[in-house]
Amino acid sequence: MLVSASLWPGAVAEAVATPRGLHESGQFLAGSPPAALSYRSAQDVWTPERIADTPPLELERDGSVTTSQQPASRLFPRDAELFNSVEINKAAEYPNRVHGKLVGTFPGLGDYACSATVVNSGSGSLLTTAGHCAYDVPTKTLATNLAFVPGYQAGSIPFGVWPVGAYILTKRFARGDIDYDFSMMRTIVSPFGTLQGIVGARGIGFNQPRKQRLEAYGYPGSGRPSYDGAKLIRCDSGYVPDPAPRTSSVGMHCDQQQGASGGGWVAQHSFVVSNTSHGYPQINRTLFYGPYYGAVAKALYRANTPSWPSIGPVKCGGQVATIIATGTGDRIRGSDANDVIATDAGNDKISGGGGNDLICGGDGNDKIDGGSGKDKIDGGAGNDKCGKGKGGGRLHACEGGGGKGK
């Protein structure tokens, strides 16, 4: 997480050569980490002791990354009432366990720790995190030894260490635009199955309202005296605009600092819409900011390149969804835009918003209310009940033809 920013929202930098180890495809750069780990070697390299000793990553004014063990800051009392900050005591339970520590090594810097989140995909292996957790912009350096530790808590590694086999980020970030400080990573499949199959996943959302209440998860190593990087922390806050000019980033109140970079921001207790990126401590240490998951993030999710084979984006009616739910019983509300909402297995309750929505239920027994727009609903394979929104009367049977994913 950025601790001293004059950077670079909306920056228009001159083109740079494709960094070694990454391959260019359209607006993205993708590749595999240098010396990528196997599943077995990841368990040997990233021992509990090494993970515990790994310092949190810090993003500097010039966009470079470094590690820091700075003393924790005190909270500003005037901001304490604007957010809730909670230590998660049961990190190994769902959905907490889909959040975890991302560890790696930057040549010339050493080991570092960020945060990341498992999100729903057909591959079952997808993570979201910050771009600077994979790539150091000024030195054009790629991280090595990348691995994800889901459900980590105080030295406990309940679901093993999952090495990262590939990652993808935007050329805009590689050129220095912090508005695009997001990356997606793909973990390898273990002998026991996929990461999502073992721990579950959050959903993911694109082009969602900026002004909504969010929950930010991460493993901060500073921010208050009790933050030591060993515990999962959740902040709950409303929207705050990024004060930088010409920026598309979003913000919220939170006291998580270094080590929280890349942690998922969750809307409606279900789907990720941003990740922790940067802050302005000279203004306030209890505010931080993340990239808006809009059209570019959605394109990243559906990307299919030689260096980044498709992760199997979740679809509804042939379209990549703008709200992708999880595999449990979700409660999803659409926005006033034209949403494409796709649920997964689970008994879900979906309410369309004010737009003309396309909604696909999953394999559970769903209840779907189309909202006030002209909506199209496919109930999925379960015993579903669907309504017509405002004025639509009682719910009725709506068995679908399986439009999801087609």
pLDDT over 90 (residue 377)? no
Tokens for 230? 């060993």
194-235 pLDDT tens trace = 999 999 999 999 999 999 999 999 999 988 889 999 999 999
404 pLDDT tier (thresholds 50, 70, 90)? very low
Tokens for 71? 């003393």
Strands ordered across the beta sheet of 367-369:
331-333, 349-351, 367-369, 385-387, 396-397
**Among 331, 359, 348, 351, residue whose Cα is nearest residue 384:** 348
Q: Are strands 376-378 and 358-360 parallel, antiparallel or unpaired?
A: parallel
Q: How many CA atoms lie within 13 A of 24 on its CB side?
A: 11
The DSSP-derived string for 83-118 is EEEEE-S-TTSTTGGGEEEEEEEETTTEEEEEEEEE
pLDDT at 392 (0 to 100): 40
How confident is the model over 181-204, as a mean pLDDT? 97
- 361/341: higher pLDDT: 341
Domains of the chain plus CATH, in order, are 35-56+93-202 (2.40.10.10), 204-303 (2.40.10.10), 315-387 (no CATH)
Average pLDDT, the chain: 86
pLDDT at 114 (0 to 100): 97
Distance, CA of 66 to CA of 44 (rounded, Å): 25
pLDDT over 60 (residue 399)? no
59 pLDDT tier (thresholds 50, 70, 90)? confident
Distance, CA of 337 to CA of 330 (rounded, Å): 20
Q: Is the dihedral of CA 88, 94, 99, 103 positive or negative?
A: positive
Residues 345 and 363 sit within 8 Å (Cβ to Cβ): yes
Distance, CA of 275 to CA of 182 (rounded, Å): 7
pLDDT over 90 (residue 74)? no
The region of weakest confidence among 7-11, 217-221, 369-373 is 7-11
- 109/329: higher pLDDT: 109
Where is 232: in which H helix or E strand? none
Distinct helix (H) and strand (E) counts, the chain: 5, 32
pLDDT over 50 (residue 181)? yes
What one-letter code names the amino acid at 154?
A
The region of weakest confidence among 41-45, 58-62, 178-182, 248-252 is 58-62
- 6/11: higher pLDDT: 11
Q: Is the dihedral of CA 330, 331, 335, 337 positive or negative?
A: positive
270-309 pLDDT tens trace = 999 999 999 887 777 788 999 999 999 999 999 999 999 9
Residue 323 neighbours by CB under 8 Å, 6+ apart:
203, 205, 206, 208, 271, 332, 334, 339, 340, 341, 342
φ, ψ (nearest 5 deg) of residue 186? -120, 120
365 pLDDT tier (thresholds 50, 70, 90)? confident
pLDDT at 98 (0 to 100): 98
pLDDT at 196 (0 to 100): 97
Question: What is the distance, to the nearest Å, from the Cα of residue 42 to the centroid of all Cα atoms in its chain?
Answer: 22
Residue 279 neighbours by CB under 8 Å, 6+ apart:
1, 2, 3, 5, 257, 285, 287, 288, 289
Distance, CA of 363 to CA of 367 (rounded, Å): 12
The region of weakest confidence among 116-120, 146-150, 221-225 is 221-225
- 281/343: higher pLDDT: 343
123-146 pLDDT tens trace = 999 999 999 999 999 999 999 999
Tokens for 94? 């769902």
82 pLDDT tier (thresholds 50, 70, 90)? low
Distance, CA of 76 to CA of 113 (rounded, Å): 26
How confident is the model over 91-113, as a mean pLDDT? 97
pLDDT at 391 (0 to 100): 36
Q: Are strands 233-237 and 271-275 parallel, antiparallel or unpaired?
A: unpaired
Tokens for 81? 């009432």
